[in-house]
Amino acid sequence: MGAKERLAGLALYLGGIVLSILRPPVDRMACMRVPGGEVPEGINPFFLIVELFLIMLGSAILSLDHEFRNYHVRNGWVGLTTGLGVAFIGGYSGLEMIFAFGVLLATIGLFLYKIGGMKDAHGKG
């Protein structure tokens, strides 16, 4: 894999983030107001799926271009980068559960990344 694949993966990953900024997956319910004066909002599943798919696909393509020491490090890196992207979408859109899922995925990815590095350091990987 070369520079073209790296750029394609980066473009997909950043495309998902830019799309979440330009078109967040949260829609306002038209012509509705609750007694408290707030406008109810709902999740647009199409845009949420597209944005998450772009981030996951971009992260996977970027991981194919690197030479990782073992599969733990590779899977950890994919989990970390995907989790950060998902957390960004959730945080920017105000979707707490999506944000929490992204943070959890990034944390698990970081642990896998560190465990994979430790296995190589001790000669057990």
Dihedral, CA of residue 64, residue 70, residue 71 and residue 76, to nearest 10: -90
pLDDT of 32 higher than 80 = no
Q: Which two tokens stand for residue 11?
A: 């473009």
The full set of domain ranges for the chain reads: 3-121
DSSP, collapsed to helix, strand or coil, labels residue 7 as helix
Q: Is-contact 73 116, C-beta < 8 A?
A: yes
- Per-residue pLDDT at 53 exceeds 60: yes
Q: What is the pLDDT of residue 57?
A: 95
67 — pLDDT class (breaks 50, 70, 90): confident
Q: Write down the mean pLDDT value for the chain.
A: 85
Give the predicted TM-score (pTM) of the model.
0.82
Specify burial of residue 45 (Cβ count, 10 A radius: 0-12, 13-18, 19+). exposed
- DSSP for 44-101 reads -HHHHHHHHHHHHHHHHHHHHHS--SSHHHHHHHHHHHHHHHHHHHHHHHT-HHHHHH
Of the two residues 33 and 103, the one the predictor is more confident about is 103
pLDDT category at 124 given cuts 50, 70, 90 is low
Mean of pLDDT values over 98-113: 94
Per-residue pLDDT, 58: 94
